Amino acid sequence: MLESRAHNQIAHNPCAPPYCGHMSVWGYARTSTTHQDPTMQLDALTAAGVDEDHLVLDTVSGATRTRPGLDRMWSRLSSGDELVVWKLDRLGRSTAHLVRLLDELGQRGVQFRSLTEPAIDTTTAQGRLLTGVMAPRSVVLAR
């Protein structure tokens, strides 16, 4: 039931940008195993304004390079869109990987917001500043 709620409907959504001419708020949730319950993540993303048609759920280990739902959603993200996650560790495999993803989102004009780390919110000036300060330090630490 939960998986049908977030069952990667983006492949079947003809109104996904750039086709409808509006910006979208996307939500990404991930659990590592089928034994984990994604309800808390999905409910938080929905409460944050993510439409169920733009909710994406992957059930894969965080160390896994390929995430089918994230890969499909990533190809649909457009300038002006916003990507919301419940927690940073749901998106990135490592600090360096997360920094690369956030940098790519910024280059593409996609905003990013983490619900449990409110300072990580590129829709605000403070969040852009914090993300910009953290990124270079994280790359150095990752080396």
Q: Which residues are catalytic?
A: 32
Name residue, tokens 């829709």.
123
Sheet holding 111-114, edge to edge: 55-59, 25-31, 82-85, 111-114
Residue 30 DSSP one-character state: E
Name the 3-class secondary structure at 111.
strand
